[in-house]
Structure 1
Amino acid sequence: MAKSLNTKVEYTEKATSMMGLGTYGDVMLGDVAFEFYNEKNTEDFIQIPWSEVDYVAAEVLPGKKIARFAIFTKENGHYTFSTRDNKATLRAMRGHVPDDKLQKSPNVFQVMKAGVRSLSHLGR
């Protein structure tokens, strides 16, 4: 059984980890870390201390619905999650991640526009 980094739990929610194939489990936000525990295998877990979080990017769909969010760490890349209530999960993160580190990820059109702009600069 994995040992939690948190001494106090502030928020829990059913979630899916999007690392490789989707893994179902529980997200736990506490005073020390963001934690994900696989519901079938307790030894399969992700623990991200708040001090290691660089920023959080959320995919916002029309109607202000949040499909998923990614936590970018300072050293270990990024981890993508989707909870039953992503908006409430991100609100619970606000106490640990500054507002300027909670970002909206670019949508498909913004990515394509940036790609076309970068291609137009290659010819110069």
Structure 2
Amino acid sequence: MNRIGVLIRKWNYGTNGRKHNPSRKNLNKQILTLHRKLKKKDNVYTEYSIEKDTDIDINRYHVHLIIHFNDENHLNNRLSNFIGGTEWKIRTNNKGSFNECNGKYGFVHTDNLRDELKYRNYLNKYELTTTLI
């Protein structure tokens, strides 16, 4: 099985059309739904941790995941559908390159895990990860 590190920042739209960040509970439900949809066509294991943004006083959250998968096309299609995006871009920074997809409901960064133990330690920085099988 292949492994990939994923960062998801999600937002919702209210009845007045303004976007707002989902609560921790709502984000947890959305990740469970994403995992269930990924499992329909592939054997997938998901480990995730919801992290609060530290630079802003308002309650804003993002999710770090490690996804074990077999079919990369199915994974990319489901992740882009999850945030309402279509186009994947490869971006490069000083830490390396990663894939990015921006959409109506958020954005996704996927990165090949170069040092899995280091990434797991980062996931467990504030709370223990949740594993979905």
Query: What TM-score comes out, normalization by structure 1 length?
Result: 0.32
Q: Which has the higher contact order (CA 8 A, sep 6+)?
A: 2
Larger of the two Rg values belongs to structure: 1
